[in-house]
Chain A
Amino acid sequence: MKLTVWTYEGPPHVGAMRVATAMKGLHYVLHAPQGDTYADLLFTMIERRNHRPPVTYTTFQARDLGADTANLFKTACQEAVDRFKPQAIIVGASCTAELIQDDPGGMAETMDLGIPVIPLELPSYQRKENFGADETFFQIVKHLSKPQSRTNRITCNILGPTALGFRNRDDVEEITGLLSDLGIGVNVVAPLNATPADIARLPAAHFNVLLYPETGEAAARWLEKNHDQPFTKVVPIGAGATRDFIAELARITGKPLAYDESRLRLPWWSASVDSTYLTGKRVFLFGDGSHVMAMARVARDEMGFEVIGMGCYNREMARPLRAMAKAYGVEALITDDYLEVERTLEELSPEMILGTQMERHIGKRLGIPCAVISAPVHVQDFPARYSPVMGFEGANVLFDTLVHPLVMGLEEHLLTMFREDFEFHDEAGASHHGGHATRRIAEPDQEVAARQPAQDNAPLDLSISDEAKEEPASGSDVLVWLADAERELKKIPFFVRGKARRNTESYAAEKGLQKISIETLYEAKAHYAR
């Protein structure tokens, strides 16, 4: 048993639902107890889908367990086929149904339904949502794709986009447009909006574009092996990766590809002097492996941030992510434990997080701005406007996304210069984020040392280290902030205060000091000056 508060990924059958819901003309018959239907609302509410997911649940109850759950499954299966008339069905079990061992796949195959039946084996107690999506899509491709000759013109398939994916809708549109500008046609996009008949046509393409390795890699590998279709390895997130992606397409197609960068604004936006304040902002990245790896490059090479840590929740990506972290000189955090991510963020106190909705909430608690770059998703990650993160327009979107949570250039200077202003002070937050400009309450000096920890949702005041507050100076390894140094630290704007405190403490530790004075603070500042 593993104690879990929040999860990054759902169970594998939710991954299968993401594939089924993305497709058309496919139905999923899921052997599952009453209550598992909650998963429908992920699609109808978070993604605002206007159709129910194409899933029939058997919704068995305790009274059925003593009777005949197998028959219940058969009835549900037959009724689903009669009512929805799908071109093919996928069948499987959720975690509880897996335990009662009814073998839904085997039963459906013997039912003579007149359409292809694709059984799914998704081990609920070992694997998770991304595996479920990847495996389901792979099984569908394996069962339905048919050998055939290639299209006359150069075409590719786009593999991996699913329902509930992070910005998949717009990424597919952007990359389809890019491919079309390069003279490459798109044969099939799958699973998003594909029918089983479309899946059969996959082998007609010359190669595959794998946009989302998390959900499409098994299928891409199988198509490479069985239909001799190479697939792209570069995920085109950011300006540099998009150029690399185009170079990779040129290699695969064997012809030079001319492309138009006139819509790409990120390089100039980043080079223009207003962006100077972005230099060296310390960022931490967490999400699914593919998005984190692509975004680390954007953060470092295209925004000029300093990457101080990265990690992913899907173990399947642990190896390449570790390699990249090593190349970036940082530790990789591979975990699906939300509390561990929270601890790491507390420890590193970055100036910005590039994470998921979970990190956004951690950031809110710790007073660290966060831009969301990866699933798991939230209703906010399905904006009404066109908002890809891939291709050239995606790079433009990313520039805005990564700048928006921060306090902007001149404002940052003003806050540094006039931090005592009662209305325009650092705890009021960035002025372009409405709603929480609060007046600073004057504090008598002696209260400074006895401040309560900041409350939820308020910017966390990092000025007093927990250690110094809770533990009196007892051993030689305990650093004590003298009151005037503590006050001086408080004058530093909150978005760099954490760094100042950490730098000063490591400087003091290095020098063997036990007490931190104003002198120590400024000596450390000079020591770490860039």
Chain B
Amino acid sequence: MNTPTLPVGGGCRTAPVLKERGQREVFCGLTGIIWLHRKMQDAFFLVVGSRTCAHLLQSAAGVMIFAEPRFGTAILEETDLAGLADSQKEVDRVVEQLLARRPDIRQLFLVGSCPSEVIKIDLSRAAERLSAKHAPHVRVLNYSGSGIETTFTQGEDAALACMVPVLPESDARELVVVGALPDVVEDQMIGLLSAMGIDNVRCLPAQRIDGETGVGPNTVFALAQPFLGDTHAALERRGARHIPAPFPFGEEGTTAWLAAIAAEFDVPAQTFEAVTEAPRARARKAVAQASEHLNGKSVFFFPDSQLEIPLARFLTRECGMTAIEVGSPYIHDAIVGPDLDLLPQGPVISEGQDVEKQLDRARAARADLTVCGLGLANPLEAEGLATKWAIELVFTPVHFYEQAGDLAGLFSRPLRRKSILKVEAAE
């Protein structure tokens, strides 16, 4: 009962993948800082980059966020490029300035960008030196969120992956759940697992550096987000073992995800049923209500966050939609394989992007709902297509049972809105 039934006509795991290379209308990995800096409350993200990086960070969420940010940009200037200024000394100077201003910071991430990568500023050397200098109060790490190396959510992957090697060694048999989740969702998840008798669940990233978990050969980990390929590999290098599962979106995905963990920890079937029965029923009811406008409709996914495959699985299996194309920036079989198994055959599975060609396909398909980035949404709406901005799926609590209805609601709202508006768009 906890194992989802495979599609009768077969899944998409072995379906041919349309691989595209061309202009990619996607964010770079720096964007992940927008949610990571709120999740990790003692961390600061210092981008070493250009004015473009700073401008991206303040524009990415569609509006400017003016709460005191725990991120900033060390903007490269002409003297940095001409080699007149020693980049290592410059990084030191800016970090001193920053730490003086924010003495509450316990972990500092030096984040590489396109220009810092191209001119080869060695941020790992800087991080090592600064870590030694400011230990034990501040730990300094580095990763690259550059557009030449990372696409949107891969920035979170790179950030988490750079933390794995410095996690303490541990022999405890512990479960680590990997991926930044909204606090309320994290609490729900921990509640469910602990009701099944699985305690000591650790989260990566932790809210604070003191809450960090150890890792070792007895560690097992589950991914809460599908875009964590490098972190997955880094944890395996530390000896930890991955529990593959479909992602916890919707009633079915959440049940399958929890079931995989329950199996790992030998939770009796009876206990599992007792714990999940009520929230499953609630989730089914909420999804049924919210998906009234989705049933029988078609959906087209532009590549954005790598959430596309698990979300397409949710929309097709639980909300009655048909997928026409499911695009993802990258497809890691080890991570999204279980979701691809469940996704009924039919849609084009595409990896990478050539945006003009994909727009041609989207216009030809005229799906009832097109899921795309903010740069494309209004132009497609103006062409009469209903769209859902993909970034909201990353910024909204959508995981696990209690959010299943909200997740369906995010997709149905544009369709509902289209059906209630009685004005023709003037432009």
Q: Chain A residues in contact with chain B, CB under 8 A?
A: 1-7, 9-11, 13-14, 33-42, 44-46, 48-52, 56-62, 64-65, 76, 79, 83, 94-96, 99-100, 123-126, 128, 357-358, 361, 364-365, 378-379, 456
**Cross-chain contact A7 with B118 (CB below 8 angstroms):** no
**Cross-chain contact B48 with A1 (CB below 8 angstroms):** yes
Q: A44-B378, A125-B78, A361-B66 are in contact. Are A4 and B72 (CB under 8 A)?
A: yes
| Min CB gap B70→A, angstroms | 10
The answer to whether the Cβ of B225 comes within 8 Å of any Cβ in the partner chain is no
Q: A1-B75, A44-B375 are in contact. Are A33 and B114 (CB under 8 A)?
A: yes
- Interface segment among B130-138, B143-151, B404-412: the answer is B143-151
Q: Return the chain B residue nearest A123 by Cβ.
A: B78
| Min CB gap A324→B, angstroms | 28
**Cross-chain contact B51 with A50 (CB below 8 angstroms):** no
Measured CA separation A311–B86 after assembly (Å): 33
Q: Return the chain A residue nearest B360 by Cβ.
A: A83
**Cross-chain contact A4 with B25 (CB below 8 angstroms):** no
Q: A2-B77, A33-B114, A125-B76 are in contact. Are A45 and B378 (CB under 8 A)?
A: yes
List of B residues within 8 angstroms of A5 by Cβ: 69, 72
Could you say which of A6, A39, A76, A100 contacts B58, with CB atoms under 8 Å apart? A6
Within 8 A of A (CB), among B29-83: 29-31, 48, 50-52, 54-56, 58-60, 62-64, 66-69, 72-78, 80-81
List of A residues within 8 angstroms of B382 by Cβ: 50-51
**Cross-chain contact A3 with B118 (CB below 8 angstroms):** no
List of B residues within 8 angstroms of A62 by Cβ: 117, 146, 148-149
| Min CB gap B318→A, angstroms | 30
List of B residues within 8 angstroms of A128 by Cβ: 51
Q: A11-B51, A14-B55, A35-B56 are in contact. Are A49 and B76 (CB under 8 A)?
A: no
List of B residues within 8 angstroms of A40 by Cβ: 25, 374-376
- Interface segment among B6-14, B93-101, B176-184: the answer is B93-101
**Cross-chain contact A61 with B149 (CB below 8 angstroms):** yes
Q: Chain B residues in contact with chain A, CB under 8 A?
A: 22-31, 48, 50-52, 54-56, 58-60, 62-64, 66-69, 72-78, 80-81, 85, 87, 90-91, 93-94, 97-98, 114-115, 117-119, 146-149, 151, 356, 373-379, 381-382, 427
Q: A3-B98, A50-B378 are in contact. Are A35 and B30 (CB under 8 A)?
A: yes
List of A residues within 8 angstroms of B379 by Cβ: 44, 49-52
List of B residues within 8 angstroms of A52 by Cβ: 375-376, 379
Indicate the member of B30, B63, B69, B80 with the most A CB atoms within 10 Å: B63
| Min CB gap A359→B, angstroms | 11
Measured CA separation A14–B91 after assembly (Å): 27
Measured CA separation A96–B30 after assembly (Å): 15
**Cross-chain contact B62 with A45 (CB below 8 angstroms):** yes
Q: A1-B77, A7-B55, A45-B378 are in contact. Are A33 and B119 (CB under 8 A)?
A: no
**Cross-chain contact B26 with A7 (CB below 8 angstroms):** no
Measured CA separation A361–B58 after assembly (Å): 13
| Min CB gap A118→B, angstroms | 21
Could you say which of B31, B80, B377 contacts A1, with CB atoms under 8 Å apart? B80
**Cross-chain contact B374 with A79 (CB below 8 angstroms):** no
**Cross-chain contact B147 with A35 (CB below 8 angstroms):** yes
| Min CB gap A40→B, angstroms | 3
11 A-B residue pairs with CB within 8 Å: A1-B85, A14-B55, A58-B23, A59-B23, A95-B52, A100-B118, A123-B78, A361-B64, A364-B66, A378-B64, A379-B63
**Cross-chain contact B62 with A10 (CB below 8 angstroms):** no
Measured CA separation A128–B51 after assembly (Å): 8
List of A residues within 8 angstroms of B81 by Cβ: 99, 125
**Cross-chain contact B356 with A48 (CB below 8 angstroms):** no
**Cross-chain contact A96 with B55 (CB below 8 angstroms):** no
List of A residues within 8 angstroms of B55 by Cβ: 7, 10-11, 14, 39
List of B residues within 8 angstroms of A361 by Cβ: 64, 66
Measured CA separation A379–B149 after assembly (Å): 31
Indicate the member of A11, A35, A38, A378 with the most B CB atoms within 10 Å: A35
**Cross-chain contact B64 with A44 (CB below 8 angstroms):** no
Q: Return the chain B residue nearest A362 by Cβ.
A: B66
Measured CA separation A379–B64 after assembly (Å): 10
**Cross-chain contact B114 with A7 (CB below 8 angstroms):** no
| Min CB gap A29→B, angstroms | 11
List of A residues within 8 angstroms of B119 by Cβ: 99
Measured CA separation A76–B355 after assembly (Å): 12
List of A residues within 8 angstroms of B76 by Cβ: 1, 125
**Cross-chain contact A42 with B59 (CB below 8 angstroms):** yes
Measured CA separation A10–B54 after assembly (Å): 8
Measured CA separation A56–B25 after assembly (Å): 10
Q: Return the chain A residue nearest B117 by Cβ.
A: A62
| Min CB gap A127→B, angstroms | 9
Measured CA separation A1–B74 after assembly (Å): 5
**Cross-chain contact B427 with A50 (CB below 8 angstroms):** yes
Extra 11 A-B pairs, beta carbons < 8 Å, given A34-B151, A123-B78: A3-B72, A5-B69, A10-B55, A36-B28, A40-B375, A50-B427, A61-B149, A96-B115, A124-B51, A125-B81, A128-B51
Indicate the member of B78, B80, B147 with the most A CB atoms within 10 Å: B147
Measured CA separation A418–B64 after assembly (Å): 38
Measured CA separation A156–B263 after assembly (Å): 78
List of B residues within 8 angstroms of A124 by Cβ: 50-52
List of B residues within 8 angstroms of A456 by Cβ: 67-68
| Min CB gap B135→A, angstroms | 22
Could you say which of A10, A13, A35, A99 contacts B26, with CB atoms under 8 Å apart? A35
Q: A6-B64, A11-B55, A60-B148 are in contact. Are A126 and B78 (CB under 8 A)?
A: yes
Closest 6 CB pairs of A and B: A35-B28, A35-B147, A40-B375, A50-B382, A361-B66, A96-B114
Measured CA separation A59–B152 after assembly (Å): 13
Q: Return the chain B residue nearest A361 by Cβ.
A: B66
Q: Return the chain A residue nearest B93 by Cβ.
A: A1
Q: Return the chain B residue nearest A41 by Cβ.
A: B374
Measured CA separation A52–B359 after assembly (Å): 12
List of A residues within 8 angstroms of B23 by Cβ: 37, 56-59, 76
Indicate the member of A3, A36, A124, A357 with the most B CB atoms within 10 Å: A3
Measured CA separation A100–B377 after assembly (Å): 32
List of A residues within 8 angstroms of B58 by Cβ: 6-7
**Cross-chain contact A125 with B24 (CB below 8 angstroms):** no
| Min CB gap B294→A, angstroms | 25
**Cross-chain contact A4 with B148 (CB below 8 angstroms):** no
Measured CA separation A11–B114 after assembly (Å): 14
List of A residues within 8 angstroms of B73 by Cβ: 3-4
| Min CB gap B116→A, angstroms | 10
**Cross-chain contact A38 with B56 (CB below 8 angstroms):** yes
List of A residues within 8 angstroms of B78 by Cβ: 123, 125-126
| Min CB gap A20→B, angstroms | 14
Could you say which of A76, A125, A364 contacts B50, with CB atoms under 8 Å apart? A125
Q: Return the chain B residue nearest A58 by Cβ.
A: B23
Measured CA separation A94–B98 after assembly (Å): 28
| Min CB gap A368→B, angstroms | 14
List of B residues within 8 angstroms of A79 by Cβ: 356
| Min CB gap A6→B, angstroms | 6
Q: Return the chain B residue nearest A63 by Cβ.
A: B148
| Min CB gap A133→B, angstroms | 14
Could you say which of B148, B151, B374 contacts A44, with CB atoms under 8 Å apart? B374
List of A residues within 8 angstroms of B52 by Cβ: 10-11, 13-14, 36, 94-96, 124
